[in-house]
């Protein structure tokens, strides 16, 4: 057995208390062996003056959209997608998706993310990046059928199913998959009715955008006579293993449906603010027993992939939405950032204890904005930033040591992304 010891830090335990301890990891199995004093490993990672926390889980992302960061801002969702994003994405090649995914995964590792969910096209390219970079990911091919002829629409749904079947368990089990209709308004009912049972037969969860804007709710009510999540439940899209992105415009009955079904919601506060989509009723959903994780959404609507930013935004916006400074507390947000996201994605991670996957981030506390250290949970949510992440470990492997990413060549990734993004902008005539 080869071991790694993360030494001298304050370790964030599952009950959200911290203790000064070492974390001993079995690198072969990728799990935590012990948390305690004076634990020597074959290799050491210095956590003096730092907080050792479970790795952050980004529950909803489109990593290749890093290539469109700053490409189109300050528009609402429909206009942004239809006028700017979809025309640009229609120019993406498989190599572009790979370059964007490399950039997104690089940024994720540098900000302490050890696991994420991704919906995009050319998904095998993203899987290749995840495999190489050493992170954990739940991946899927996003389906859009509106505006397509039947043959092309069915091919898109078939591709989502085929990708999910083929890649589930890839990268030594670090990749899992889901069937991913883009949303309840961009995929026709006939395709959901035909393909969701096939996904279930393959044992796959389903992930989709739901109730993000009011413009997504009204057409379903008008055409089907029920609100979106009732429509989803009627078509078998609200199961305990499923997770929906956004969940902004949900009424009390839909919150009850989510809670009863055990379907998770991935709250994306930055994207919801930037696109002015609205404020998700996070505190009400939590009180109703809905399982919640956090997500950045794509870098073009955020505009970064830092989950620490997302945590701060979730706490701040949760209070405004509830008109209550006590709502969506720091403790609650840390749960969403780690365990909540892991639960939503079916990862057995998000906690530091013996037997758990060794997915963790080490946050440097010796910084002016993290001094004094009254409350490290408070610091994690309200004061820490991505730049404070010192090391990132996933599955027992050191992905970043002292801010040096070991699994990706940072300058080559930046060069490839810059070139790909310039060429896309030129092709689209921007
Ligand atoms: C078909 S692959 C995924 C698809 O989703 C688009 N997208 C990015 N951000 C959002 C969002 O906030 N709501 C809905 N769709 C979004 C992305 O551009 C891809 O085309
Ligand atoms: Zn999204």
Q: pLDDT for 187-197, tens place per residue? A: 999 999 999 99
From the CA of 212, give the closest atom in ligand 1. Answer: 13
pLDDT at 283: 98
pLDDT at 242: 98
pLDDT tens digits, one per residue of 190-228: 999 999 999 999 999 999 999 999 999 999 999 999 999
- The percentage of residues in the chain with a pLDDT greater than 70, rounded to a whole number, is 100
Residue 20 shares a structural domain with residue 95: no
3-state secondary structure 294-357: ECCCCHHHCCCCCHHHHHHHHHHHHHHHHCCCCCCCHHHHHHHHHHHHHHHHCCCCCCCCCCCE
CA distance 316 to 394: 29
120 lines ligand 1 (CB under 6 A): yes
Residue 284 shares a structural domain with residue 321: yes
Residue 105, helix vs strand vs coil: helix
pLDDT tens digits, one per residue of 132-172: 999 999 999 999 999 999 999 999 999 999 999 999 999 99
Residue 129 shares a structural domain with residue 35: no
Confidence of residue 49 (pLDDT cuts 50, 70, 90): very high
209 is in an annotated binding site: yes
pLDDT tens digits, one per residue of 245-258: 999 999 999 999 99
CA distance 154 to 322: 42
Whether residue 70 lies inside any domain: the answer is: yes
pLDDT at 228: 98
Q: Whose CA is nearest to atom 1 of ligand 1?
A: 142
CA distance 30 to 222: 50
Residue 46 shares a structural domain with residue 132: no
Confidence of residue 417 (pLDDT cuts 50, 70, 90): very high
For a mutational test of ligand 1's pocket, the pick from 85, 147, 269, i.e. the residue with the most ligand atoms closer than 8 A to its C-beta, is: 85
Whether residue 178 lies inside any domain: the answer is: yes
CATH code where residue 379 lies: 2.30.40.10
Residue 300 shares a structural domain with residue 380: no
Expressed in angstroms and rounded, the spacing between residue 153 Cα and the centre of ligand 1 is: 17
Expressed in angstroms and rounded, the spacing between residue 418 Cα and the centre of ligand 2 is: 23
Residue 32 shares a structural domain with residue 148: no
Expressed in angstroms and rounded, the spacing between residue 382 Cα and the centre of ligand 2 is: 24
End-of-domain residue from the set 345, 361, 391? 345
Which ligand is the nearest neighbour of the Cα of 186?
A: 1
Q: Whose CA is nearest to atom 8 of ligand 1?
A: 298
Q: Whose CA is nearest to atom 20 of ligand 1?
A: 86
Whether residue 303 lies inside any domain: the answer is: yes
CA distance 400 to 99: 19
The whole-model pTM stands at 0.98
Whether residue 79 lies inside any domain: the answer is: yes
pLDDT at 357: 98
56 lines ligand 1 (CB under 6 A): no
301 lines ligand 1 (CB under 6 A): yes
Q: Using an 8 Å Cβ cutoff, are 413 and 102 in contact?
A: yes
From the CA of 275, give the closest atom in ligand 1. Answer: 12
pLDDT at 245: 98
Structure tokens at 66: 């890093």
Q: Is the pLDDT of residue 341 over 90?
A: yes
122 is in an annotated binding site: no
End-of-domain residue from the set 313, 345, 377? 345
Range(s) of the domain holding residue 398: 3-54+352-405
Average pLDDT over residues 264-283: 98
Cβ neighbour number for residue 336 with a 10 Å cutoff: 31
Q: Using an 8 Å Cβ cutoff, are 333 and 378 in contact?
A: no
pLDDT at 252: 98
For a mutational test of ligand 1's pocket, the pick from 61, 62, 276, i.e. the residue with the most ligand atoms closer than 8 A to its C-beta, is: 62
Expressed in angstroms and rounded, the spacing between residue 86 Cα and the centre of ligand 1 is: 9
Average pLDDT over residues 28-43: 98
Confidence of residue 104 (pLDDT cuts 50, 70, 90): very high
Whether residue 324 lies inside any domain: the answer is: yes
Confidence of residue 41 (pLDDT cuts 50, 70, 90): very high
CA distance 107 to 97: 15
pLDDT at 183: 98
Q: Whose CA is nearest to atom 3 of ligand 1?
A: 120
Whether residue 426 lies inside any domain: the answer is: no
Residue 61 shares a structural domain with residue 50: no
Whether residue 414 lies inside any domain: the answer is: no
Average pLDDT over residues 318-339: 98
60 is in an annotated binding site: yes
Structure tokens at 351: 């906690």
Q: Which of 227, 230, 231, 299 is nearest to 268 (CA)?
A: 299
For ligand 2, an ion, list residues with CB under 5 A.
Answer: 297
212 lines ligand 1 (CB under 6 A): yes
212 is in an annotated binding site: yes
Confidence of residue 401 (pLDDT cuts 50, 70, 90): very high
CA distance 268 to 275: 11
CA distance 130 to 44: 25
Residue 205 shares a structural domain with residue 128: yes
Residue 129 shares a structural domain with residue 205: yes
Average pLDDT, the chain: 98
Confidence of residue 430 (pLDDT cuts 50, 70, 90): confident
119 lines ligand 1 (CB under 6 A): yes
209 lines ligand 1 (CB under 6 A): yes
Residue 299 shares a structural domain with residue 222: yes
Whether residue 425 lies inside any domain: the answer is: no
Q: Is the pLDDT of residue 264 over 90?
A: yes
For a mutational test of ligand 1's pocket, the pick from 163, 208, 213, 298, i.e. the residue with the most ligand atoms closer than 8 A to its C-beta, is: 298
85 lines ligand 1 (CB under 6 A): yes
Residue 45 shares a structural domain with residue 184: no
CA distance 63 to 117: 9
Expressed in angstroms and rounded, the spacing between residue 63 Cα and the centre of ligand 2 is: 10
Number of separate domains in the chain: 2
pLDDT at 386: 98
Confidence of residue 420 (pLDDT cuts 50, 70, 90): very high
Confidence of residue 351 (pLDDT cuts 50, 70, 90): very high
297 is in an annotated binding site: yes
Confidence of residue 243 (pLDDT cuts 50, 70, 90): very high
């Amino acid at each position: 057995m080869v071991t790694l010891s993360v030494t001298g830090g304050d370790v964030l335990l599952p009950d959200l208390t911290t203790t000064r301890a070492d974390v001993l990891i079995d690198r072969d199995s990728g799990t935590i062996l012990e948390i305690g004093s004076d634990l020597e490993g074959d290799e050491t990672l210095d956590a003096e003056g730092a907080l050792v926390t479970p790795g952050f889980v980004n529950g909803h992302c489109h990593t290749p959209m890093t290539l469109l960061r700053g490409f189109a801002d300050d528009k609402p969702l429909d206009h942004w997608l239809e006028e700017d994003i979809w025309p640009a994405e229609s120019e993406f090649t498989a190599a572009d998706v790979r370059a964007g995914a490399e950039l997104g995964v690089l940024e994720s590792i540098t900000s302490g993310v050890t696991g994420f969910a991704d919906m995009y096209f050319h998904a095998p390219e993203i899987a290749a990046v995840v495999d190489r970079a050493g992170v954990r990911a739940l991946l899927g091919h996003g389906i859009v059928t509106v505006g397509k002829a039947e043959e092309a629409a069915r091919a898109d749904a078939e591709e989502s199913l085929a990708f999910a079947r083929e890649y589930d368990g890839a990268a030594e089990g670090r990749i899992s998959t889901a069937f991913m209709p883009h949303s309840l308004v961009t995929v026709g009912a006939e395709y959901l009715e035909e393909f969701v049972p096939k996904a279930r037969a393959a044992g796959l969860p389903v992930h989709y955008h739901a109730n993000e804007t009011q413009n997504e709710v009204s057409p379903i009510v008008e055409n089907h006579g029920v609100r979106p999540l009732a429509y989803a439940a009627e078509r078998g899209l609200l199961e305990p293993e499923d997770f929906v992105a956004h969940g902004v415009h949900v009424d009390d009955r839909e919150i009850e449906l989510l809670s009863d079904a055990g379907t998770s919601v991935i709250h994306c506060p930055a994207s919801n603010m930037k696109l002015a989509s609205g404020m998700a009723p996070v505190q009400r959903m939590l009180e109703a027993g809905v399982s919640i994780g956090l997500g950045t959404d794509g870098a073009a609507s955020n505009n970064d992939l830092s989950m620490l930013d997302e945590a701060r935004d979730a706490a701040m916006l949760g209070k405004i939405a509830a008109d209550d400074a006590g709502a969506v507390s720091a403790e609650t947000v840390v749960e969403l950032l780690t365990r909540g996201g892991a639960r939503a994605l079916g990862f057995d991670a998000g906690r530091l204890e013996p037997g758990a996957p060794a997915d963790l981030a080490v946050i440097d506390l010796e910084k002016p904005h993290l001094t004094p250290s009254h409350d490290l949970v408070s610091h994690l949510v309200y004061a820490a930033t991505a730049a404070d992440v010192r090391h990132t470990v996933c599955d027992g492997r050191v992905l970043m040591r002292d801010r040096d990413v070991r699994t990706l060549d940072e300058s080559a990734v930046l060069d490839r992304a810059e070139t790909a993004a310039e060429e896309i902008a030129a092709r689209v005539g921007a």
